[in-house]
Amino acid sequence: MNIIVCVKQVPDTSQMKFDPETKTIVRENVENIVNPFDLYAVEEALRIKEKFPESKITAICMGPKQAENALREVISMGADSAVLISDKSFAASDTLATSYILSEAIKKTGQYDIILFGKMAIDGDTAQVGPGVASLLDIPQITFVRKIEEITNEKIIAERALETGYETLEVQLPCVLTCIKELNEPRLPSLRGKMKAKKEEIPVLNAEALSIDLSRCGFKGSPTWVVKAFSPVMTKENMIFKSEDQRENVDNLVSKLKEKAVI
């Protein structure tokens, strides 16, 4: 079974800044980490391989040269190989353009059975790339997977989280799954894995290698435009109810909570 896990290197949200001119996230000189939700996808790929030992896990990341560090972390966890998708023309790609580029990269890997994503990236919160890739590859998908009930060489039965409960779906392979934190607990890298990751040669595929249509990348290929970007300011409002009648205090509290749409 050929498993592909797509990961993203994201800036530490505590250090995140925005460029007011381009309305994009400033990624230079900021500590970067592997997108936390993607680690659940990596862990699930490893668990699937434990059930199917002949499986091969390939990690794919789209980003600048420094994103290679994210791939090395994934290899240290147990992935077999990794590919970096990098080209200046890919900069500022929105979710549609990113989905297109990743789908073309996945096609270049050859046969694939399962493609895993984290449910979303913490620097965008859109949860659109996984479904976008599935749509472009014309394969079934299950989003927000919280439990895999059955997996064979032909199909997967998984439970997905909904706002109102859970839903169990069965799809044929190949397919895309997006993973949430209830699915598993990501393992720590092993010493052997770290040694392998340090030595691993990670190939870099650019637009030419992928035969990419440049009109579908970057600003040109991104129909989504950010009108305004800013860091939210957290404010606190204190209220003190001083009535000697505790029921009156409770009524006032409930009234204020309703006014603020908390309840």
Summarize pLDDT for 107-141 with one digit per residue, the tens. Answer: 998 899 999 999 999 988 899 999 999 999 999 99
**pTM of this prediction exceeds 0.95:** no
Q: According to the model, what pLDDT value does residue 244 have?
A: 85
Strand-pair category, 165-172 with 155-162 = antiparallel
Inside any domain, residue 224? no
* CA 9/CA 104 separation, integer angstroms: 19
Q: According to the model, what pLDDT value does residue 28 have?
A: 64
Q: Report residues of the chain scoring pLDDT below 50.
A: none
Q: According to the model, what pLDDT value does residue 11 have?
A: 85
Inside any domain, residue 229? no
Inside any domain, residue 195? yes
Q: According to the model, what pLDDT value does residue 24 have?
A: 64
Beta-carbon-side half-sphere exposure of residue 184 (alpha carbons within 13 Å): 21
CATH of the domain at 163: 3.40.50.620
- 26: closest CA among 186, 231, 239, 163? 231
Q: According to the model, what pLDDT value does residue 242 have?
A: 86
Inside any domain, residue 221? no
Cis peptide before 174 (omega within 30 of 0): yes
Q: According to the model, what pLDDT value does residue 64 have?
A: 93
Q: According to the model, what pLDDT value does residue 233 have?
A: 74
Q: According to the model, what pLDDT value does residue 260 have?
A: 80
Inside any domain, residue 240? no
Q: Which whole-number Å values give the CA distances from 24 to 18, 37, 112, 216, 224, in the listed order?
A: 6, 21, 33, 18, 12
Give the distance from CA 49 to its chain's centroid: 20
- 232: closest CA among 125, 85, 160? 125
Q: Which whole-number Å values give the CA distances from 252 to 137, 239, 245, 248, 258, in the listed order?
A: 56, 10, 11, 6, 10
* CA 60/CA 219 separation, integer angstroms: 22
Inside any domain, residue 79? yes
**DSSP one-letter code for 123:** T
Beta strands in the chain (DSSP E): 2-7, 9-11, 17-19, 24-26, 32-34, 56-62, 81-85, 114-118, 141-151, 155-162, 165-172, 175-179, 204-205
Inside any domain, residue 253? no
Q: According to the model, what pLDDT value does residue 18 have?
A: 65
Q: According to the model, what pLDDT value does residue 238 have?
A: 81
Range of the domain at 133: 2-216
Residue 142's beta-bridge partner residues? Answer: 177
When divided into structural domains, the chain yields a total of: 1
Inside any domain, residue 161? yes
CB of 83 closer than 8 Å to CB of 202:
yes
Give SS3 for 6.
strand
